[in-house]
Structure 1
Amino acid sequence: MTTQDERLGQVREVPEGVRLQFRRSWPDPVEDVWAALTEPDRMARWIGTYDGERSVGGTGTFTMTQEEELVGEPMRIVECAPPHRLVVEWLTDEAWRVELDLTRADGQTVLLFTQVFPAGTELTDYTLGWHWYLDKLAAEVGGHPAPGSWDDFLAATGPAYGR
């Protein structure tokens, strides 16, 4: 099971820049967590929508529907090895790349979320945002309570990040 400290994520300097990682775990099968990460109906309940080609190299538009301002952004699927690895890349000036790896350990499905930012990037807001989305994923996967509104989440969790 994921501990409170692990829920805050880890930020480390790496040769490529600054790496943000979160580890989450659930007793649910890998296939169920994979489905929550990739199936349109389930994605919509915790993060957003993806309209486009669903294969390696495929591009489309990703809209984070839980945001105040809905903006569709171009995205590419870089790697897809169901049900264990998905790598996506935003095709914007920021060129975000997110890696999602699922493994099974000690009767748990473990998600390792990784994103690397350019050196010197201030990650507090990004870290808080991904923490909120991963809590929403936990509600979708394991039936955990959803984190509620962003403002409520920020009031409760922000102090752990110095906000």
Structure 2
Amino acid sequence: MSENDFHPGSIRRLDDVVEGQLQRIIEHPPADVWRMLTEPQRLAQWLAPGSVELRRGGAVRIDFADSGTLIESTVRALEPGHLLEYSWSSGSQPERPLRWTLDAVERGTQLTLTVRLPADEDIAKACAGFEGHLEMLVAALEGVPVHFPVELYLQARKAYQAMLAA
């Protein structure tokens, strides 16, 4: 994705949370994108080593060993092939729900990621990080995995910070 191709998602403030929503049209069928979100060997290609137990209440474990961050959560909502929701947190940390929605469109899949954080957390940083990981997801689907795109992250964070300041 070139600098001119970047279009940030949206951010809105709700009562005690902030919500970011990112969307991508991915030129692959929803079943392929779903496997990237849920299969351990594919999850590791674009996010981090982990596993998702595909049932409501199932365990979610994603291990960012390099940063020391471990996500240990449970599946909150599941419609196989279409919807997956879990919290981006562990233990007694505040809830940070992530909601992945996949819809078939003419060119492949519309992926919508909605992330909610407590109002005092940095939603611009979170959205920018997910912009980078979504770029990695698309590259992995194309069979050309890439390292985390730091320049995209920086550009996205600046764009999301500007949204919050407006």
TM interval, shorter chain, is: 0.7 to 0.9
2:121 alignment partner in structure 1 = 121
**CA offset at residue 61 of structure 1?**
2.7
Cα distance per residue 1:41-91 (max 9 Å; x no partner): 1101111122474421112432135xx324333111112211000011233
1:134 alignment partner in structure 2 = 134
Long gaps (5+) in structure 1: none
1:28 aligns with 2:28: yes
2:12 alignment partner in structure 1 = 12
Tell me which amino acid in the other structure corresponds to 2:90: L
Long gaps (5+) in structure 2: none
2:76 alignment partner in structure 1 = 78
Q: Return the TM-score normalized by structure 1.
A: 0.79
Could you tell me how far apart the structure 1 residues matched to 2:53 and 2:142 are?
28
**CA offset at residue 126 of structure 1?**
1.2
Q: 1:52 and 1:154, CA in 2 relative to 1: closer, same or farther beyond 3 A?
A: closer
Q: 1:145 and 1:156, CA in 2 relative to 1: closer, same or farther beyond 3 A?
A: farther
2:46 alignment partner in structure 1 = 46
Q: Percent identity?
A: 23
Task: Determine if contact 1:76/1:91 at 8 Å carries over to the other structure.
Answer: no
Cα distance per residue 1:78-117 (max 9 Å; x no partner): 1221100001123331221100000012333000100112
Task: Determine if contact 2:62/2:71 at 8 Å carries over to the other structure.
Answer: yes
Greater shift, 137-146 or 15-24, is seen at: 137-146
Task: Determine if contact 2:54/2:78 at 8 Å carries over to the other structure.
Answer: no
Tell me which amino acid in the other structure corresponds to 1:32: D
Q: For residues 104-115 of structure 1, what are the structure 2 equivalents within 5 Å?
A: 104-115=104-115
Q: Return the TM-score normalized by structure 2.
A: 0.78
**CA offset at residue 34 of structure 1?**
0.5
Tell me which amino acid in the other structure corresponds to 1:80: L
Task: Determine if contact 2:85/2:98 at 8 Å carries over to the other structure.
Answer: yes
Q: How many residues align?
A: 157
**CA offset at residue 142 of structure 1?**
3.7
